[in-house]
Amino acid sequence: MGGGGDAVKHGDLDSSMTNPSDALDVHMGALEFECVDCHRTTDHQISGRSISVSVDDANQIACTDCHNEQPHPDDRLNEHTDTVACQTCHIPEAAVKLPTKVEWDWSTAGNDWTEDPHEYLKIKGSFVYEQHYIPEYFWYNGVVADRYLLGDTIDPEGITLINPPAGSIDDPTAKIWPFKVHESNQPYDAVYNYLLQPKTVGEYWVNFNWDTAFELGSEAVGLPYSGEYGFATTHMWFPITHMTAPATQALECTACHGENGRLDWQALGYPGDPMDWGSRDAGK
């Protein structure tokens, strides 16, 4: 469920480059890159796509468009490129200059609270922003494993996954990637158990009546509305692929291979740190 439109989209439209000025002002400096240096354009067709919502991996941009598969002078670093995305080491944090939205609670909308665009808006609810955001890490092969579609049923007691990344330790095409995982509290139909599409513009944002907004939104998208609603937690994944830091600011070995490192090796499918247990192919 995003920030605008009559029938609001389920995923927060805030991307890993929520604030493009982060990339342009902070990390483009040394070589004076512009967007088109990576997003090369032919006949008005711009390369690249929103990989948080894409149905395939066509027309993507990769670091290897300019760099070879093993660009480091140190072989120990080159040994990582089969399993670790360039972005994992070279984007140690996101939202470097300006904070990025990480939580959005629609259930608080409509209250006459003090407004602040980074904390609360009556038309949208409550927000949490973070600066110097430390990514979360998942296996990712360039596409999503599944996506929430209009009318899909949910378990309101659990977490609805909007677009979980595809890939695992057993997928030879997957690498460990950095993500922003955005959490939302979104309206759902308490009888049919699917996420609702409220009509916000010209309705909720004027009258602040959820029932009418759900009736009109459901009519627009062709789904029945029971008249009963609640709010449920959703997670949406945004691959972090902008805001590349200078090489001197890339992660050091101990950031991952050390006590209290930022990678959860067991969650990634390893028995422990591969420095001790071996690579993902060990024992096969």
Q: In terms of Cα–Cα distance, which of 82, 61, 54, 58 is closest to 144?
A: 54
State mean pLDDT over 122-130: 98
Q: In terms of Cα–Cα distance, which of 249, 271, 273 is closest to 261?
A: 273
pLDDT given at position 27: 44
How far is 192 from 151, CA to CA, in rounded Å?
A: 9
For residue 73, count other CB atoms closer than 10 A to its CB. Answer: 7
> CA-CA distances (angstroms) from residue 220 to 1, 73, 195, 217?
15, 57, 14, 5
* pLDDT over 80 at 174, yes or no: yes
Burial class (CB in 10 A: 0-12, 13-18, 19+), 33: middle
Q: pLDDT band for position 51 (50/70/90)?
A: confident
The least confident of 22-26, 52-56, 79-83 is: 22-26
pLDDT given at position 124: 98
* pLDDT over 50 at 20, yes or no: no
Across the chain, where does the E strand assignment appear?
41-42, 45-46, 100-105, 120-121, 125-130, 136-140, 159-161, 175-189, 229-239
User: What is the three-class DSSP state of 211?
Assistant: helix
> CA-CA distances (angstroms) from residue 232 to 10, 52, 192?
12, 21, 13
Q: pLDDT band for position 1 (50/70/90)?
A: low
For the chain, what percent of residues have pLDDT higher than 90? 70
Q: What is the mean pLDDT of the chain?
A: 88
* pLDDT over 60 at 166, yes or no: yes
- Answer with the residue of higher pLDDT: 120 or 27: 120
CB 183 within 8 A of CB 12: no
pLDDT given at position 259: 87
